[in-house]
Amino acid sequence: MSSIQTPIRKNDNVVVVTGKDRGKRGRVLRLVPSKNRLIVEGVNFMKRHTKPNPGQNVKGGVVESEAPLHASNVQLVCPECSAPTRIGRRLLGDGRKVRICRKCDGVVDR
């Protein structure tokens, strides 16, 4: 199975468009390109019951952490117009290829 390249990158601000966390905004912590998924800060929490392991200094109990979301369930938030938007690409005069906002035509990449 080949990985699909998504226009969303690490540290981008995104908004969840569908699911139980619809409307929440967060920063992308990690990408899983092989499954086209990403982990967003403060979104899609799961609970996991862990056994104590004194050797690795792990306390037992219920641990909450973020679970991966599918990339199609989030939209990038434009830093200029702060609206959820689709992503376009443009070649600048100096030869750089940058991501652009489809709503305000602003450059998303810094």
**99, two tokens:** 């991501």
72 and 94 in a single domain? The answer is no
6 and 23 in a single domain? The answer is yes
Residues 78 and 85 sit within 8 Å (Cβ to Cβ): yes
pTM: 0.82
Strand partners, 8: none
What is the dihedral angle through the alpha carbons of 91, 94, 95, 96, rounded to the nearest 10 degrees?
-70
1 pLDDT tier (thresholds 50, 70, 90): low
Tens digit of pLDDT for each residue in 58-110? 889 999 999 999 999 999 999 999 999 999 999 999 999 999 999 998 899 87
CATH number at residue 39: 2.30.30.30
Residue at token pair 């392991």? 53
Domain membership flag for residue 102: yes
What is the predicted pLDDT for the residue at 110? 72
What is the predicted pLDDT for the residue at 2? 57
What is the predicted pLDDT for the residue at 44? 95
Q: Is the pLDDT of residue 53 over 90?
A: yes
46 and 84 in a single domain? The answer is no
Which sign, positive or negative, has the C-alpha torsion 42, 18, 69, 27? negative
Work out the mean pLDDT of the chain and round it to a whole number.
Answer: 91
Domain membership flag for residue 55: no
66 and 85 in a single domain? The answer is no
Query: Which domain range does residue 96 map to?
Result: 80-110
How far the first Cα of the chain sits from its last, in Å, is 32
